[in-house]
Amino acid sequence: MDTLLPLVPEHALARVLLTVGLALVLLPLYAARSLAAKRIIYATWASLLAYLTWLGVISYARLKGTSPRLHWERPGVLWQGIS
């Protein structure tokens, strides 16, 4: 949620709608009776496919040189002390 908030206007209604929207999207997942429920299994596979798609797109952009250097890709202050 903290990742999405900077992308949403600071208007209180927009943030409330984002929170309610995410809760409604996740409702079928946290309402499952067990981890073996089909909806959990499908969500796991969908998550894996989304990650692999993201990894492929980022890798392709890096290979072609079209990926800009973003601030979140740089190591943090913690890593500067040990390298």
CA distances from 29 to 12, 20, 25, 36, 51 (A): 26, 15, 8, 11, 18
Which pair of tokens denotes residue 58?
A: 């980022």
The pLDDT, as a whole number, for residue 3 is: 62
The mean per-residue pLDDT over the stretch 4-23 comes to 79
For residues 67 and 58, is the Cβ–Cβ distance under 8 A? Answer: yes
pLDDT tens, 24-82? 888 877 777 887 888 888 888 888 999 999 889 888 888 887 776 665 566 666 666 66
The pLDDT, as a whole number, for residue 65 is: 79
| Residue 19 banded pLDDT, cuts 50, 70, 90 | confident
Residue 8 phi, psi dihedral angles, 5° rounding: -100, 140
Q: Kindly report the pTM of this predicted structure.
A: 0.51
